[in-house]
Each structure stands twice: as C-alpha cells, then as structure tokens.
C-alpha cells in the first residue's frame, strides 16, 4: 500500500488506492481561524455556536476553527482566515502555522496501514521571479518528513509539477509540459520520456488574484475568495458584480504574467532538448478551474512566444486531485 499527499497552500489532498480500480481522495481546506474568549460565559457561548463545525480547543482556552468552516467564520466576522502555508511552504508569517499544519496533516493522512508505508508528498520548485534567499523549500520539506515519519510513514518529497506529469501524461509517453496552478504558486515541469528536464515555479497565482481584487474593491481577502469560488464569472470578461469584475480582470493579468515568465525563462535554455513533435500542455490546480481559463491561457501562450511547439492545451481530468494522484503513482513506483 502507498499514499500520495498534495500539500497545497489552499488544499491538502490525500490519495489512496483502496481497492483495484478505485481511488479515494480526502480533501481539506488549508485554513484556520482563532477565537479567544474573554470570559467563561463567552467560552460556553462560543463552543455552543461552533457545534457541528470543525474545530479544536487549545490549552489557553482559545478555539481554533479549521478548514472551510474557518473561512466561513472569518467571512461572518468580516475578517480573513489564516493560512498555515504561504506560497507553497509552511508560513513564517503565522506563529501557529507549524503546529496547525502538523495537526491537519496528521489528521488527514491518518495512520499508516503498516509501519513504514510509503507516502509521497509534493513540494514546490525554486521560483524564477523571486530572489533565492527569500525562498527555501528545504525547511518545509524537513518539517513534513519529520511529522510523517513520527506518524509511521516512509515519506519522500516530489516536485509538484513532476507529480502532475506522472498523473496526466501517460498517453503521451510521459512527454509534455505540466503546470500546476495552486493558490500560492504556479509550478512548471517539462518532461521527456518520464524524466523532468526543466522544473521551476512563479510566485503569483490564485492568492495574488484575491489580494489584488481585495485591494481594488476594499473587501477582505476571504470575502473575495468566497465570491470567486461561488460566483459566476469568465476570465477576462466584464462582470456586473464589482468583486467578480476585479477577479476576472486580475486573472487576465496573471495569465499574461505567467506566460511571459514561461517564455523568458525557457527561451534558449540549454537544458531543453529539441522536441521533434509538438507537446501537450496540461494545466491543473484550483486556480485553473475558472471559466475561460484554459482558452485564455492557450491564447496567451501563443501570443507571448512560448518557445516549445504545442500540440494542445488541456485541462487535467480532475484538476483538484491530479497532483495527489501523481504523488500516489510515484509512491507506487518507488
């Protein structure tokens, strides 16, 4: 038995094959919100109000609401939920981040079926649009390996976009390009016959859209995120709703920025082989689920001079679970 774990900025997804031909995914929203009662009466009232929600009680008496309930509670209070991860790695901005992330990962991954069960989890690649010293995946990787080892797994990290290639490029002999559009980053992998030849990331993705739309409209990030996920909008198209109009507009800018980064980072790079056939480009991740995303991405890829020949741009079969599925495949081959 083996498991795959997508440790994302916005979602944690566990994949496991429970019987032949069936895969079970467990999704959990990577967010928390802390409420600290000031009086014993307030404690009782809050605990009663949180009945049915996903939460834990801390030793200091505060309530830590987890997952989508945290976002709902934050929106209710016109506030923003906190994230244990920031731009693909454990957040250094939140003092509770490591503890909360540890708790969530332990709960989602569960106990291993046998001691030393293989588990592969994903990590982001080095970004091309941020200085090296500002970003390090080593510590993040160590934190997760340590906690999963304590639980009893034999854990190993894999590049996020490499995992996406293993999930989506089987019919293309594992040759093509994969982009994982998460909340914090866009991870890219160019693969040739199952070997990654180029991997990198960029640091603007769904969270950047939320942040910019929040600044433009004066709303909290959580409110923009909730509107974005529930509302009806098309990337780059006008919208009557002010928040969704801003989201649609910043999506357009994000795709333009990312395709320009792809072109400038890969153009003339000596690690890239000469591909004789045009390549499939696969996109996945929550950010890529917006209406019109794939079409606009394909258009911008061409406009901004993507240096490789493209056969098609397609969505992953299951964009939210594709990376976890790739981790599961890697764990089974390992």
Partner 1 sequence: MESNIASMNILLYFTAFVLGCIVGRMTGKPDLGDPRIDPKGSFFKPEVRQRKQVEIDEKTFVTNVSTDSLEKKCKDLGTQTTVEDDVGSSVSKLAMLKKNK
Report the site for partner 1 in 73-112 (rule: CB under 8 A): 98-99, 102-104, 106-108
Q: Does 1 bind partner 1 (CB under 8 A)?
A: no
Identify which of residues 55 and 250 has a Cβ nearer to partner 1 in the complex. Answer: 55
Identify which of residues 17 and 219 has a Cβ nearer to partner 1 in the complex. Answer: 17
Measured distance CA(228)–CA(210) in Å, rounded = 8
Identify which of residues 143 and 245 has a Cβ nearer to partner 1 in the complex. Answer: 143
Measured distance CA(198)–CA(93) in Å, rounded = 30
Select from 197, 216, 245, 263 the one that contacts partner 1 (CB under 8 A).
197
Measured distance CA(334)–CA(121) in Å, rounded = 13
Residues 85/90/93/95 CA torsion (nearest 10 deg): 110
Piece of the chain touching partner 1 by CB under 8 A; list 159-167, 220-228, 273-281, 282-290: 159-167
3-class secondary-structure state, position 143: helix
Tell me if 186 sits within 8 A of 204, measured CB to CB: yes
Q: Does 172 bind partner 1 (CB under 8 A)?
A: no
Q: Which of residues 217-246 bind partner 1 (CB under 8 A)?
A: none
Tell me, by CB under 8 A, how many residues bind partner 1: 80
Q: Does 9 bind partner 1 (CB under 8 A)?
A: no
Tell me if 15 sits within 8 A of 24, measured CB to CB: yes
The token pair that represents 219 in the structure block: 């709303």
Instruction: Please report, in angstroms and rounded to a whole number, the separation of the first and last CA atoms in the chain.
Output: 11
- Distance in Å, CB of 254 to partner 1, minimum: 20
Identify which of residues 237 and 332 has a Cβ nearer to partner 1 in the complex. Answer: 332
E strand or H helix that includes residue 108: helix 97-109
Q: Does 166 bind partner 1 (CB under 8 A)?
A: yes
Q: Does 148 bind partner 1 (CB under 8 A)?
A: no
Q: Which of 245, 276, 90, 270 is nearest to 173 (CA)?
A: 276
Q: Which of residues 296-325 bind partner 1 (CB under 8 A)?
A: 318, 325
Angle, vertex CA 130, rays to CA 129 and CA 135, nearest 5: 135
Select from 26, 211, 299, 315 the one that contacts partner 1 (CB under 8 A).
26
Piece of the chain touching partner 1 by CB under 8 A; list 38-46, 128-136, 205-213, 251-259: 128-136
Q: Does 173 bind partner 1 (CB under 8 A)?
A: yes
């Amino acid at each position: 038995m083996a498991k795959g774990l997508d440790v994302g900025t916005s979602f944690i997804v566990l994949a496991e094959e429970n019987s032949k031909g069936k895969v079970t995914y467990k999704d959990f929203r990577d967010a928390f919100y802390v409420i600290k009662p000031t009086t014993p009466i307030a404690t009782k009232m809050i605990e009663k109000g949180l009945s049915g929600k996903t939460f834990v009680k801390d030793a200091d008496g505060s309530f830590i609401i987890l997952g989508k309930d945290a976002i709902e509670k934050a929106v209710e209070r016109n506030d923003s939920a906190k994230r244990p991860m920031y731009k693909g790695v454990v957040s250094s901005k939140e003092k509770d981040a490591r503890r909360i992330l540890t708790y969530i990962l332990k709960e989602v991954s569960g106990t291993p079926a046998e001691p030393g069960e293989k588990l592969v989890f994903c990590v982001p690649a080095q970004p091309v649009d941020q200085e090296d010293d500002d970003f390090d995946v080593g510590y993040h990787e160590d934190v997760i390996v340590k906690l999963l080892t304590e639980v009893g797994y034999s854990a190993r990290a894999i590049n996020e976009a490499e995992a996406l290639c293993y999930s989506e490029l089987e019919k293309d002999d594992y040759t093509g390009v994969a982009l994982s559009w998460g909340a914090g980053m866009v991870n890219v992998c160019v693969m040739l016959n199952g070997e990654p030849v180029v991997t990198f990331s960029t640091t603007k993705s769904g969270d950047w859209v939320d942040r910019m739309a929040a600044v433009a409209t004066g709303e909290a990030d959580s409110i923009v995120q909730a509107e974005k996920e529930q509302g009806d909008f098309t990337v780059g198209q006008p919208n009557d709703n002010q928040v969704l109009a801003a989201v649609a507009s910043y999506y357009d800018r994000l795709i333009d920025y990312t395709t320009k980064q792809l072109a400038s980072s890969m153009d003339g790079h000596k690690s890239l082989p000469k591909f004789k056939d045009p390549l499939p480009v696969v996109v996945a991740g929550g950010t890529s689920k917006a209406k019109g995303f794939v079409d606009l991405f394909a258009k911008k890829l061409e406009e901004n001079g993507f240096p490789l020949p493209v056969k098609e741009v397609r969505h992953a079969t299951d964009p939210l679970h594709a990376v976890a599925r790739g981790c599961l495949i890697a764990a089974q081959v390992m």
